[in-house]
Amino acid sequence: MIKVRFAPSPSGYVHIGNIKTAIFNWLFLLSQKQKGEDCVFLLRIDDTDLSRTKQEYIDAVKEDVSWFGIKWDETFHQSSRFNRYNECLEKLKKDGRVYVCYETQEELEAKRKRQIARKLPPVYDRASLNLTEEDKKRLEAEGRKPYWRFKLNDGDVVFNDLVKGECRFNMKHLSDPVIIREDGTYLYNFPSVIDDMDSGITHIIRGQDHLTNTAMQIQMFEALGASFIPQFAHYPMILNAEGHKFSKRQSDISIRSLKNDGIEAMTIANVLVGLGSANGGKMYKSMEELAKTFSLSNYGSAFSRFDMDTFYKENGKLLRILDFDDVKDRLLLIDGRIDEYFWNMVKGNIEKLDDISYWVNVVYGEIEPPALSNEEKKFINSIIDCLPVDFNQNVMKIWAEAIFNATGKKGRDLYHPIRLAITGIEFGPELSQLLPLMKRDKVIERLKNIK
């Protein structure tokens, strides 16, 4: 059985970096299901930092993940498993794989600066391993609070990454990771390993900023006696236009913000999956379709720079490949008169689904009369009497022939001022498609109301 997980920390709204991890895990799972594999998706809420966890963020995680059509088979909160983490901690204490420390952040920073000045790697010096029981009592009497580190074994950690290939880390070049803060809360690495081990996670798919974490976590798996170690895949990170990582503190890149702005979930999925991929640039209208082309082997190691405007530029491309049945329920909420003919007529002229409201007004409602030149006004006034009585599928063809015979105008000189007068803008569906939906009286009213 293949089992993956998405494990967000509910300390803010889900942003595009978070959701990319969820999407990659989901597409990997779907691609395996399509090959006949048994698969399980776990949604794990990493809420060990209770001071930063909020229920509204937990609710938002579930809402945003569901919006993408991602369905989890299992879920739990890390906050319900502290007893298990404490049990594993005691085991590692007995085995000598964790140790207590007392340095302040200022002291640790001073050590790092001295090491850098001496052109040495800024690795923790394990000074705390030399503390006696008397030293520890004295430090605690001074008001210092202990924190705990996991002791890394020397040597190389080597693993085969499903994206990057062979990865090798010399553990002497890494600091023993802190696993428990001064306030007693667990940091990410330690409880994550325990949960992955207990849950039977087979594949861990995440950004390449976790590569160093993976080397340390492999030793934690081994120290805890895991029966197997998951396979890892680290996809390339995405950076903003300035070359920085995206953060939960940037509210404009939250999934909630994009959704409220009218960006489609599949637009986000297509763009994020396409970044850095050999198959980038194509649009698929469902996760199932996207999964058929998804492969971790399509990605390299290079970071991808990304402009948020891409979502807005690509959204219209997605809408143009959607069928009426794909959006029917949402369209009918906008206006019950929208049918398949209407959708196919206008979908090439909208960037967001709500934009269709403009074309509903063009056909059935009111628009702001456009400003035309004096020559265009004169032309519009001269062609009203040419308008056919019958508004059938040939109305625009018949009208254009009558206008040509009366004025000699054709092409853009004919169609451009008519389009402006009737629709209010310079682009849109073919007038031959639009006019049959409109009543003759409305068209005449538009022509007479030009400014």
pLDDT digits (tens, 9 = 90+) for 325-369: 999 999 999 999 999 999 999 999 999 999 999 999 999 999 998
- Spatial neighbors of 316 by CB under 8 A, at least 6 apart, are 350, 351, 352
118 shares a domain with 135: yes
pTM for this structure? 0.92
- The reply to whether 43 falls in a domain is yes
- The reply to whether 36 falls in a domain is yes
- The reply to whether 212 falls in a domain is no
Quote the CA–CA distance of 195 and 200 in Å, as a whole number.
8
306 shares a domain with 388: no
Quick one: pLDDT at residue 443?
96
333 shares a domain with 316: no
What values do phi and psi take at 220, rounded to 5? -70, -45
116 shares a domain with 135: yes
pLDDT band at 302 (very low <50, low <70, confident <90, very high): confident
289 shares a domain with 358: no
Q: Which CATH number is 439's domain given?
A: 1.10.10.350
pLDDT band at 250 (very low <50, low <70, confident <90, very high): low
Quick one: pLDDT at residue 247?
61
169 shares a domain with 142: yes
Q: How far is CA 227 from CA 93, 96, 155, 156, 222, in A?
A: 20, 21, 22, 21, 9
Quote the CA–CA distance of 320 and 330 in Å, as a whole number.
16
150 shares a domain with 95: yes
422 shares a domain with 346: no
Q: Which CATH number is 34's domain given?
A: 3.40.50.620
- The reply to whether 227 falls in a domain is no
Quick one: pLDDT at residue 253?
79
Domain boundary among 364, 384, 416: 364
Q: Which CATH number is 149's domain given?
A: 3.90.800.10
The proportion of the chain whose per-residue pLDDT surpasses 90, expressed as a percent, equals 88
Q: Mind listing the pLDDT tens digit for each residue in 59-76? A: 999 999 999 999 999 999
Q: Mind listing the pLDDT tens digit for each residue in 149-158? A: 999 999 999 9
53 shares a domain with 13: yes
Number of domains the chain is built from: 4
Q: Domain limits at 316?
A: 1-75+236-321
Quick one: pLDDT at residue 248?
54
pLDDT tops 80 at residue 441: yes
Residues 53, 47 contacting (CB under 8 angstroms): yes
- The reply to whether 213 falls in a domain is no
359 shares a domain with 291: no
- The structure tokens listed for 365 are 């409602």
Average pLDDT of the residues in 188-215: 97
- The reply to whether 250 falls in a domain is yes
Segment among 33-37, 108-112, 160-164, 238-242 with least mean pLDDT: 238-242
68 shares a domain with 22: yes
